[in-house]
Amino acid sequence: MSERIFLPVRRGDDVLVYEYFEVPAQRRWQFRVVLAAESEEGELVRTGTGMITDEEIDLCKGLVARMDSVVDAFEAVRLSDISTYRGLLEAGESAAVVTNSMLFTSTLYLNLMRQCLVEESSVSRYESRAPSERFDIGLSASIYDGLVKRYDLKRAEAILDADLPHAKPPKRLHREWSYFYKTAAEIKLRRGKKQAGVGLLEKAVLCQPDAATHRRIASLHLDVGDRPAAIAAFERSHELEPLPAKPRLRLAWCYFQEGDRQKAADFAAKSLDMGNGQAGKLLERLKEDNST
């Protein structure tokens, strides 16, 4: 199948649009949430899972608007009686969501429900246990990760907040704990809680130093205007591995705005050498300042 396949569903008041896609390395097909809205009247926003164009978003808005027609078409169908599938064939194009074949559409919905049932079973079992009993570094992180992928962020945050008091990382480097804190940070950041997210990312790099995560911390500090903290995070990333051209230029601008012209020039010049033409603007400005 060359065309992308999207499937809109409701989850309480939320509207989700799943994509049915192939995982080439595993040679299998599965579903992922690519768009979400807090209601059918709400704006569909990208979830960050899979690239999706503005034109495809418009297409998905049309699919969401036709969800009720799909419900109407399926109401007459009894899964245990295949003769009732004639109703799907007679529903015609007005009820089509993925293709004009409602049999194909019904199969997709059933496959999606099967995937959701398996996922929900794991989360429900986890939720039914007390946080002090259920917390396990690997299992807990996988539960959070699954909820993030389903864009069930409110639920993920509630479970995480109950679990965090029971998270006791060892006083040594530990990869699993780093993954745990990164997953927890993703929940907080997606919920718009940057300070909490940064705090969890900082715990992650204490468990396992990671240049990319330090760069992300720096970017988050810049988002709230904390340049000194951003500089410290960029420098720590640079100690672990040389900064790529674009983050190097961002660090140069930080130094420039903090008044350290020499470091600004050094990092900007190297960024330019690495092929980032935007660094030339900062270097020109530094020359103008020196000439005056």
Q: What pLDDT sits at residue 182?
A: 95
Whether the per-residue pLDDT at 258 is higher than 60: the answer is yes
Per-residue pLDDT, 38: 86
Which whole number is the average pLDDT over 216-240?
96
Q: Are residues 216 and 119 in the same domain?
A: no
Please compute the mean of the pLDDT values over residues 174-192 and round it to a whole number: 94
Rounded average pLDDT over 255-272: 95
**Residue 34: per-residue pLDDT:** 94
Whether residue 119 is contained in a domain is answered as yes
- Mean pLDDT lowest among 15-19, 77-81, 239-243, 253-257: 77-81
Residue 243 structural domain: 209-291
Last residue of a domain, one of 106, 124, 142: 124
Q: Please give the torsion angle defined by the CA atoms of residues 94, 96, 100 and 104, in that order, rounded to the nearest 10 degrees.
A: -150
**Nearest residue to 230 via CA among 209, 200, 257, 203:** 257
Q: According to the model, what pLDDT value does residue 98 have?
A: 53
Number of separate domains in the chain: 2
Residue 19 pLDDT: 93
d(CA 196, CA 154): 15
Q: Identify the domain boundary among 93, 124, 155.
A: 124
Q: Kindly report, residue by residue over 68-97, the tens digit of the pLDDT.
A: 877 777 777 777 887 777 777 676 655 555
Least confident of 14-28, 136-150, 237-251: 14-28
Within a domain: 51:
yes
Residue 277 lies in a domain: yes
Decide which of 124, 146, 162 is a domain's last residue: 124
Q: What pLDDT score does 206 carry? A: 93
Mean model confidence pLDDT for the chain: 89
Which pLDDT belongs to residue 77? 74
In a domain, 191, yes or no: no
Q: What is the mean pLDDT of residues 107-130?
A: 93
In a domain, 96, yes or no: yes
* DSSP class per residue in the chain: --S-EEEEEEETTEEEEEEEEEETTTTEEEEEEEEEESSTTSPPEE-SSS---HHHHHHHHHHHHTHHHHHHHHHT--TT-GGGGHHHHHH-GGG-SSSS-HHHHHHHHHHHHHHHHHHHHHHHHHHTS-HHHH--HHHHHHHHHHHHHTT-HHHHHHHHHHHGGG----SS--HHHHHHHHHHHHHHHHTT-HHHHHHHHHHHHHHS--HHHHHHHHHHHHHTT-HHHHHHHHHHHHHHSPPPHHHHHHHHHHHHHTT-HHHHHHHHHHHHHTT-TTHHHHHHHHHHHHH-
Kindly report which listed range (18-32, 81-95, 172-186) carries the lowest average pLDDT score: 81-95
Q: Does a structural domain hold residue 47?
A: yes
Q: Is residue 179 part of a domain?
A: no
CATH number where 220 lies: 1.25.40.10
